């Protein structure tokens, strides 16, 4: 064990990517050594050929700083890395190092993570639910709202484990989580997971039962929001939305590979997730509705999480200056209201009607397919809804 550890440490300093293999291999070895069970020694390979780095979700500081753009992810996703061996159930594995010493199985460890014993003290646990997307969908609002629930604790910053810090290992991942008391659910949100190639498989290997929450917003609104963010954060200094979305106005052909538009093909990204998780483990939230009716969406989310429905209309108050609902700080004794930061609710760029029409036409079949996949219609292509959405600005 000592040699393996020394070797790993030396390797870590040389090549960052190799650390991922090394630390996880070390971890897998320790699991097997502590368990002595042929079934448990069965490790599965996780192909991370397209493991992206540095791409990010939004303008929120993640665990390691400001987020990048999905464009970075695509660039990096072509990078060849290696085949990373993960234990049969990775998340269990971290805990099973300890659990193994107690002569218990990996499945005991994961079920500990899900159902804590009433006697256990507050501790950091792996999430049982992740808000996996989408960037600019309303993910911060959702996380902040659900954090009002007494049975929920959330990782405040975006963690970016599955798209950026995977090589830091599972202990690191758990360390990013807040302390949770018995009966509390831990939730993290990293919107870039939704478009990260490796994320579905990596998460499923860690916990096949993970609850996956996706806030999807009208892809045209989302793209405009994304673009507005790039300008506001200084990541983009050139180019107009119109010209980037539809490079040749004569043809009206949409550049679907431009990252703000690529993200909006939700059905295409969802295809990848469905190879690893069944549909009942997903909860889709209409981001446009979350803006207008947060309580309605929060009730559905609490039902999905199987927790008492506590957050309702009483928790929200519309703030005219902000133009959004804000949260009442219930039980504090003070009439305190907390709104999201100034980076949420930005002015969107103006788009010509012809580009808007091309975008609508482009996304319509994708939206339709998404609705049929999730069994719910979000009505983004209903003209009345679109007008309302535009009038908001
Ligand atoms: P805009 O800035 O385009 O309006 P994310 O948190 O995923 O980055 O999403 C940001 C979007 O959340 C904002 O996009 C905003 O429309 C939306 N949102 C939803 N509910 C909100 C709320 N109560 N307060 C502020 N923004 C909210």
Query: What would the pLDDT profile of 101-158 be if each residue is shown by its tens digit?
Result: 222 333 333 455 555 444 579 999 999 999 999 999 999 999 999 999 999 999 999 9
| Other beta carbons less than 10 A from residue 85's beta carbon | 16
Tokens 């650390």, located at residue: 19
Strand ranges, E, within 73-174? 83-86, 123-124, 129-133, 152-154
Q: Is 140 in the pocket of ligand 1 (CB under 6 A)?
A: yes
The pLDDT of residue 114 is 52
Q: Is 174 in the pocket of ligand 1 (CB under 6 A)?
A: no
Q: Is 35 in the pocket of ligand 1 (CB under 6 A)?
A: no
pLDDT at 372 over 90: yes
* Interatomic CA distance for residues 113 and 226, integer angstroms: 35
Per cent of the chain over pLDDT 90 is 63
| Other beta carbons less than 10 A from residue 115's beta carbon | 11
Query: What would the pLDDT profile of 299-320 be if each residue is shown by its tens digit?
Result: 999 999 999 999 999 999 999 9
DSSP, res 115 = S
The pLDDT of residue 3 is 58
Q: Rounded to the nearest whole angstrom, what is the distance from the C-alpha of residue 379 to the centroid of ligand 1?
A: 19
The pLDDT of residue 226 is 97
pLDDT at 332 over 60: yes
- Looking at ligand 1, which atom is closest to the CA of residue 325? 23
- Flag whether the pTM goes above 0.95: no
Strand ranges, E, within 134-184? 152-154, 179-180
DSSP, res 65 = B
Q: Rounded to the nearest whole angstrom, what is the distance from the C-alpha of residue 74 to the centroid of ligand 1?
A: 24
Q: Is 138 in the pocket of ligand 1 (CB under 6 A)?
A: yes
The pLDDT of residue 119 is 55
Segments in 158-293 forming alpha helices (H)? 169-175, 199-206, 219-232, 241-245, 259-262, 266-274, 287-292
* Interatomic CA distance for residues 385 and 95, integer angstroms: 48
The pLDDT of residue 329 is 82
The pLDDT of residue 195 is 98
348 contacts: CB under 8 Å, gap ≥ 6: 221, 224, 225, 227, 228, 393
Short-list 80, 42, 67, 13, CA closest to 229: 67
How confident is residue 100, by pLDDT bands cut at 50, 70 and 90?
A: very low
* Interatomic CA distance for residues 193 and 196, integer angstroms: 5
Pocket test for ligand 1, best of 291, 316, 325, 347 (most atoms within 8 A of CB): 291
Q: How far is CA 190 from the centre of its chain?
A: 3
The residues with which 154 forms a beta bridge, in sequence order, are 187
Give the DSSP H/E element, type plus range, for residue 284.
strand 282-286
The pLDDT of residue 239 is 83
138: phi > 0 → left, psi -120 to 50 → alpha, else beta; which?
Answer: left
Q: Rounded to the nearest whole angstrom, what is the distance from the C-alpha of residue 141 to the centroid of ligand 1?
A: 6
pLDDT at 232 over 60: yes
Pocket test for ligand 1, best of 57, 131, 140, 320 (most atoms within 8 A of CB): 140
Query: What would the pLDDT profile of 199-224 be if each residue is shown by its tens digit?
Result: 999 999 999 999 999 999 999 999 99
Of residues 245 and 98, which shows the higher confidence score?
245
Residues in the chain: 393
| Mean pLDDT in residue range 324-348 | 88
Q: How far is CA 266 from the centre of its chain?
A: 14
Q: How far is CA 137 from the centre of its chain?
A: 11
Query: What would the pLDDT profile of 249-283 be if each residue is shown by its tens digit?
Result: 999 999 999 999 999 999 999 999 999 999 999 99
Q: Is 217 in the pocket of ligand 1 (CB under 6 A)?
A: no
Contact (CB, 8 A) for 315 and 244:
no
The pLDDT of residue 237 is 79
Pocket test for ligand 1, best of 57, 60, 135, 141 (most atoms within 8 A of CB): 141
Per cent of the chain over pLDDT 70 is 66
Q: Rounded to the nearest whole angstrom, what is the distance from the C-alpha of residue 335 to the centroid of ligand 1?
A: 23
The pLDDT of residue 238 is 80
Q: How high is the mean pLDDT of the chain? A: 77
Distances in whole angstroms, Cα of residue 277 to Cα of each of 112, 203, 209, 307, 377: 21, 9, 8, 22, 21
| Mean pLDDT in residue range 41-66 | 38
How confident is residue 287, by pLDDT bands cut at 50, 70 and 90?
A: very high
């Amino acid at each position: 064990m000592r040699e393996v550890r020394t070797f790993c440490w030396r390797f870590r300093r040389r090549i960052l990517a190799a650390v991922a293999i090394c630390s996880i291999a070390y971890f897998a070895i320790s699991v097997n050594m502590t368990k002595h069970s042929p079934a448990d020694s069965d490790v599965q390979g996780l192909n991370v050929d397209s493991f992206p780095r540095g791409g990010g979700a939004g303008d929120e500081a993640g665990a390691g700083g400001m987020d990048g753009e999905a464009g970075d992810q695509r660039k990096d996703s072509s990078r060849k890395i290696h085949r990373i061996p993960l234990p049969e159930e990775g998340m269990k594995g971290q805990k099973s190092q300890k659990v193994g010493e107690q002569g218990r199985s990996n499945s005991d460890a994961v079920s500990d993570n899900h159902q804590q014993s009433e006697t256990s003290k507050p501790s950091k646990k792996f999430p049982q639910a992740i808000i996996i997307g989408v960037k600019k969908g309303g993910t911060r609002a959702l996380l902040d709202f659900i954090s009002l629930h007494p049975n929920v604790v959330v990782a405040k910053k975006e963690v970016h484990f599955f798209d950026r810090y995977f090589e830091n290992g599972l202990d690191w991942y758990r360390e990013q989580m807040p302390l949770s008391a018995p009966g509390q659910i831990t939730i993290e949100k990293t919107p870039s997971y939704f478009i990260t190639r490796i994320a579905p498989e990596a998460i499923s290997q860690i916990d096949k039962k993970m609850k996956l929450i996706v806030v999807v917003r009208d892809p045209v609104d989302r793209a405009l929001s994304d673009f507005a963010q790039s300008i506001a954060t200084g990541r983009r200094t050139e180019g107009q939305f119109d010209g980037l979305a539809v490079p040749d106005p004569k043809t009206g052909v949409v550049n679907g590979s431009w990252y703000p538009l690529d993200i909006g093909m939700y059905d295409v990204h969802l295809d990848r997730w469905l190879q690893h998780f069944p549909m009942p483990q997903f909860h889709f939230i209409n981001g446009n509705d979350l803006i207008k009716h947060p309580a309605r969406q929060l009730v559905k989310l609490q039902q999905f999480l199987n927790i008492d429905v506590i957050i309702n209309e009483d928790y929200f108050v519309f703030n005219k200056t902000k133009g959004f609902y804000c949260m009442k700080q219930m039980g504090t004794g003070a009439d305190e209201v907390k709104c999201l930061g100034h980076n949420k609710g930005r002015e969107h760029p103006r788009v010509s009607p012809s580009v808007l029409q091309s975008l609508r036409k482009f996304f319509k079949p994708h939206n339709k397919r998404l609705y049929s996949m999730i069994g719910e219609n979000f009505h983004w292509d209903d003209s009345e809804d679109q007008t309302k959405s535009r009038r908001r600005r």
